Amino acid sequence: MGFAFLKYIPIISTLANSFITKTKHDIKIKAFNQTKEKIDTMEHLMIKIDKKVSDCRHDIEELRKQLICSRVVTLIFGVAIVLLIIFLR
């Protein structure tokens, strides 16, 4: 009975070696896939940031136009008030 186990040792060692080799390969593939996923995630975040930056630039441009308009209106009213004061004296 003890010798029956000895004839299975080469098969068991081959299976163990194959299992270890496949496991190492799977770990390498998984690490590569995680790297690819991280790169994809960073690219996605960069695209989102780029879109937010362009939206912020658009908002800043709109606010600049509104500020210029409000300054012009304020200047016109100021000039009108000064002219009214000068001509009504």
State the total domains in the chain.
Answer: 1
Burial classification of residue 40, based on how many CB atoms lie within 10 Å of its CB (0-12 exposed, 13-18 middle, 19 or more buried)? exposed
Q: In this structure, is residue 76 part of a structural domain?
A: yes
Q: In this structure, is residue 70 part of a structural domain?
A: yes
Q: In this structure, is residue 38 part of a structural domain?
A: yes
Quote the pLDDT of residue 33: 67
- pLDDT 10s digits, 40-57: 899 999 999 999 999 999
Quote the pLDDT of residue 19: 83
Q: Provide the whole-model pTM.
A: 0.53
Q: In this structure, is residue 79 part of a structural domain?
A: yes
Q: In this structure, is residue 1 part of a structural domain?
A: no
* Host domain of residue 53: 8-87
Position 69 pLDDT exceeds 90: yes
Q: In this structure, is residue 18 part of a structural domain?
A: yes
